[in-house]
Amino acid sequence: MKKRLIEIRDEALSSIKGVSTPDEANALRVRYLGRKGEISTLLKGLGALDHNLRRELGQETNKVKTAIEEALNTRIKELQCALDRERLKKERIDTTLPGRKPYRAKLHPITTVMTEVEDIFTGLGFSIAEGPELELDYYNFESLNIPKDHPARDMQDTFYISKDLLLRTHTSPVQVRVMEAGKPPLRVIAPGTVYRRDSDVTHTPMFHQVEGFMVGSGVTFSNLKAVLTHFLETLFGEDVAVRFRPSFFPFTEPSAEVDIQCVICGGGGSTCRVCKGTGWLEILGAGMIHPNVFKSVGYDPETVSGFAFGLGIERIAMLKFGIDDIRLFFENDLRFITQF
Ligand code: DAH
């Protein structure tokens, strides 16, 4: 029995050396030291033995058990250490690596252009006014000399809320509101959001305009030309050519459309798709404020004169940044927006 005990010990110790995981080691513990393990099974015959022999064997058994126990613990510790080392190696973090850059917000290209336009005009002494986006028919049309049967009032173009209430189709009504509330001389721009029932590559139902006007005694068309030429040269560069073309708006007389030399082809491209080969790009509408508009705000057209202009921010941003689809501005795709 003693011999068998030693055999079990040697066998156990050599098996313990061979295990490669803590689980395997624990399985050996059950196999040799467990209640139904090899040693317990062997000792079942102990009861029948002589007292002294039993004592001797008991002591020997304890020694063997302790040896196996220790060998198991040592092996498990070794394996655990190896596992820990392995894990540390895998989870190693190089704290000297540069961190991930935090995302920094940027201004939307429309905001950038809007701010630039505002800066140019405030630099010329203009102040900034705002008006409601939900506007009365009176301010959006009537007071601006746009009679009831004018095509601009068509349901096709205007979002009507009720017979008298609509989403403003332009920022021109702010002209009237500001003139009503104040007295000349006035030098004001009115940036804001406007709405039209329109949607394609160059139109969105919501877009941004800046209206501007200057009213006083002796304000002339030359003043208009000087202000707008300065504005366009600041925005597109000193060298940009500017031209004024006769046009029609109900609220100005005479009226003009202002073009700049095509910023894409430089004016010479017969095949340019942006200016359609004309070499010019229409950039804003302007004119001398119509006497009827002055009358509607209680100004005397005989003693007061003024010019007004209106421009679209999206159009300017498209030309400045070379963007060919206006809808990109409002899709909020960061890959697009963060380029500017
Ligand atoms: N309100 C016009 C529009 O939305 C733009 C405009 C043209 C404004 C000529 C003006 C102007 O003040 O004089 O298309």
pLDDT tens digits in sequence order for the chain, 340 residues long: 788 888 888 888 888 998 888 888 888 889 888 888 888 888 887 777 888 888 888 888 888 888 889 988 999 998 899 889 999 999 988 889 998 888 888 899 999 999 999 999 999 999 999 999 999 999 999 999 998 888 767 766 899 999 999 999 999 999 999 999 999 999 999 999 999 998 888 889 999 999 999 999 999 999 999 999 999 999 999 999 999 999 999 999 999 999 999 888 888 777 887 788 898 989 999 999 999 999 999 999 999 999 999 999 999 999 899 888 899 999 989 899 888 8
Ligand 1 close to Cβ of residue 177 (< 6 A): no
Q: What is the pLDDT of residue 125?
A: 97
Length of the chain: 340
Ligand 1 centroid distance, CA of 279 (Å)? 23
Question: Are residue 123 and residue 224 in the same domain, yes or no?
Answer: yes
Ligand 1 close to Cβ of residue 75 (< 6 A): no
Backbone angles phi, psi at 205, to 5 degrees: -60, -25
Q: What is the pLDDT of residue 56?
A: 85
Ligand 1 close to Cβ of residue 249 (< 6 A): yes
Angle subtended at Cα 290 by Cα 289 and Cα 292, rounded to the nearest 5 degrees? 135
Question: Are residue 269 and residue 139 in the same domain, yes or no?
Answer: yes
| Beta strand segments in 140-185, E | 165-167
Question: Are residue 168 and residue 307 in the same domain, yes or no?
Answer: yes
Q: What is the pLDDT of residue 165?
A: 96
Q: Which of 40, 61, 90 is the last residue of a domain?
A: 90
Count the Cβ atoms, other than its own, within 10 Å of residue 129: 20
Question: Are residue 11 and residue 122 in the same domain, yes or no?
Answer: no
- The amino acid at 18: G
Question: Are residue 79 and residue 117 in the same domain, yes or no?
Answer: no
- The amino acid at 42: L
Please, are residues 188 and 314 in contact by the beta-carbon 8 Å criterion?
no
Ligand 1 centroid distance, CA of 9 (Å)? 102
Q: Which of 59, 90, 121 is the last residue of a domain?
A: 90
Please, are residues 309 and 211 in contact by the beta-carbon 8 Å criterion?
yes
Residue 113 lies in a domain: yes
Question: Are residue 21 and residue 150 in the same domain, yes or no?
Answer: no
| Beta strand segments in 290-334, E | 305-312
Question: Are residue 179 and residue 313 in the same domain, yes or no?
Answer: yes
Question: Are residue 211 and residue 325 in the same domain, yes or no?
Answer: yes
Residue 99 lies in a domain: no
Question: Are residue 34 and residue 157 in the same domain, yes or no?
Answer: no
| Beta strand segments in the chain, E | 127-128, 134-136, 165-167, 186-195, 206-216, 242-249, 252-261, 280-289, 305-312
Question: Are residue 247 and residue 210 in the same domain, yes or no?
Answer: yes
Count up the domains in the chain and report the number.
Answer: 2
Domain of residue 144: give its range. Answer: 109-337
Question: Are residue 85 and residue 154 in the same domain, yes or no?
Answer: no
Question: Are residue 173 and residue 305 in the same domain, yes or no?
Answer: yes
Residue 102 lies in a domain: no
Record the tokens describing residue 94, joined without a space.
């190089």
Residue 97 lies in a domain: no
Q: What is the pLDDT of residue 263?
A: 84
Cis peptide before 191 (omega within 30 of 0): no
Residue 12 lies in a domain: yes
Among 140, 309, 313, 316, the mutation site with the greatest number of ligand 1 atoms within 8 A of its Cβ is: 309
Record the tokens describing residue 212, joined without a space.
């501007």
Ligand 1 close to Cβ of residue 297 (< 6 A): no
Which residue's C-alpha comes closest to atom 4 of ligand 1? 170
Q: What is the pLDDT of residue 314?
A: 95
Ligand 1 close to Cβ of residue 308 (< 6 A): yes
Which residue's C-alpha comes closest to atom 8 of ligand 1? 310
The Cα 115–Cα 188 span in angstroms is 15
Residue 330 lies in a domain: yes
The Cα 107–Cα 180 span in angstroms is 34
Ligand 1 centroid distance, CA of 60 (Å)? 109
What CATH number does the domain containing 145 carry?
3.30.930.10
HEC readout, 183-252: CCCEEEEEEEEEECCCCECCECCEEEEEEEEEEECCCCHHHHHHHHHHHHHHHHCCCCCEEEEEEEECCE
Please, are residues 208 and 194 in contact by the beta-carbon 8 Å criterion?
yes
Look-up of token digits 């709405």: 195
Residue 96 lies in a domain: no
Ligand 1 centroid distance, CA of 248 (Å)? 10
Record the tokens describing residue 325, joined without a space.
């689809």
Residue 199 lies in a domain: yes
